[in-house]
Chain A
Amino acid sequence: MSNLAQQRQFLARLVLRSFISLCLLLIVIGLVIFFATGGTHVPGNPGGKFSVIVARALQGGVGLHASAFLIAGIVVLLLTPIARLLAGVAMSARMRDSLYVVIGLVVLALVVAGLLIGQATA
């Protein structure tokens, strides 16, 4: 196996492990804050625009709210397979494989459609 291929695999594993570790870290912090603050205030369900969910999580994180860390962990988890998809699209683009770049972008459009339809039907 070439050095370049080995480097790519190392990078792919590193990205996957980093995403999952960050997700775990955020969720553990959220749960610790929840229990440390009495474990009685159950955070409400996030909903609506994805950008607003992310913005609220970031704002809440500054105030050390448990819900903010938990939601941030969920968002990172949700982004992990999308990062894998983008890596696949990037690989196809590098190989000048326009058919699979288009197919990958269609899949990405379906994910975005899921976010938008969920928000619109809430």
Chain B
Amino acid sequence: MVIIILLGGILAGGLGSITGLGGGMVIVPLLTLGFHLPIPQAVGVSLLGVIATSTGAAPRFVGTGMNNVRAGLFLQVAASSGALAGAWAAHLLPERTLFIVFGVVLAFASALSFKSMPSDVAGARESSPLALKLRLNSKYEQQGEWVPYHVTRVLPGFSVMIGAGFLSALLGIGSGAFKVLAMDRLMKIPFRVSTATSNFMIGMTAATSAGFYLTHGDTPPLIAGAVVLGVLVGSYAGAHVLAGARVRTLRQVFTVVLILVALQMLAKGLGLPL
């Protein structure tokens, strides 16, 4: 069992780092559908996998001039608050409901991944008063030059972060896509800055809820150890060994597999045979 979970973690980490789709989307179905682990325990383990992926990638972002530390810290208040509520809700809601929500979110995220995300959409012309008050506007390095940018719609972005944190803790996923969407599309933070900032936030959000799951007794150490080791090895292999793989094809195949998994999670939640 441990070896299969380890291999599952390697697969999740590898595919996650190549395709950009989160490994948590694989870990929770693997542990619940494959090994019949109660969903809160699967989520507790998956959140550790999320921290491992985020931390493993973190040194790449250090010193790139892409991190907006102020925006990250401010929005983290929302994401961590949402994560606390999500972890609590995961222990109050019936297991069947969690399967249905997971299935819906997984299907939605998979469908979204078919659409390519345009990078660096037109930035805001001026910062909103709240962004100015919080000094969220900053600059980033592009081809040796520092490019200033404005930040806007802070409260809508803050609200989406609460939702992203909630979903992350409820389902054991990184919610990176939602975090980047909030910063890039809503707050008009440049895409690359949003990606780098969300890396910090994904790990911090997962740490808030993983702590909850750990002290609540939902972290089986053997399974968690196998998943964390697998995810780290997989993401390293994905970034270094498989860098030349046909990412587009791989991403499409992975997306189809995730949609099938989403249907299976939905079927389990609805009590339907599939």
Contacts and interface: CB of A to CB of B under 8 A. Distances in A.
Interface of A: 1, 5-6, 9, 12-13, 16-17, 19-20, 23-24, 27-28, 30-31, 34, 39, 42-43, 45-50, 53, 66-67, 70-71, 73-74, 77-78, 80-82, 84-85, 88, 91-92, 99-100, 103-104, 106-107, 110-111, 113-119, 121-122
Contacts of B48: 74, 77-78
B203 A53 contact: no
Given A27-B229, A42-B222, A77-B55, A48 B215 contact: yes
A107 B76 CA distance: 7
B216 interface: yes
Given A45-B219, A80-B203, A107-B204, A34 B2 contact: yes
B221 A78 contact: no
7 contacts: A13-B62, A27-B228, A77-B228, A84-B204, A85-B204, A100-B70, A114-B83
Given A74-B224, A81-B51, A114 B87 contact: yes
A67 B208 contact: no
A74 B219 contact: yes
A73 B203 contact: no
Contacts of A13: 59, 62-63
Contacts of B219: 45-46, 74
Contacts of B220: 42-43, 45
Contacts of A17: 59
Q: Main secondary structure on chain B at its contact with chain A?
A: helix
B58 A78 contact: no
Given A9-B62, A104-B73, A118 B215 contact: yes
A67 to B, nearest CB: 5
Nearest to A43: B221
A74 B59 CA distance: 20
A99 B208 CA distance: 21
A15 to B, nearest CB: 10
Which 8 pairs between the two chains have the least Cβ-Cβ distance?
Answer: A47-B217, A9-B63, A118-B212, A118-B215, A81-B203, A70-B221, A118-B216, A119-B215
B84 interface: yes
A41 B211 CA distance: 25
Contact of B208 (A30, A66, A103, A110): A110
Nearest to A68: B221
Nearest to B55: A80
Nearest to A111: B208
A116 B87 CA distance: 12
A78 B214 contact: yes
Contact of A45 (B63, B74, B211, B217): B217
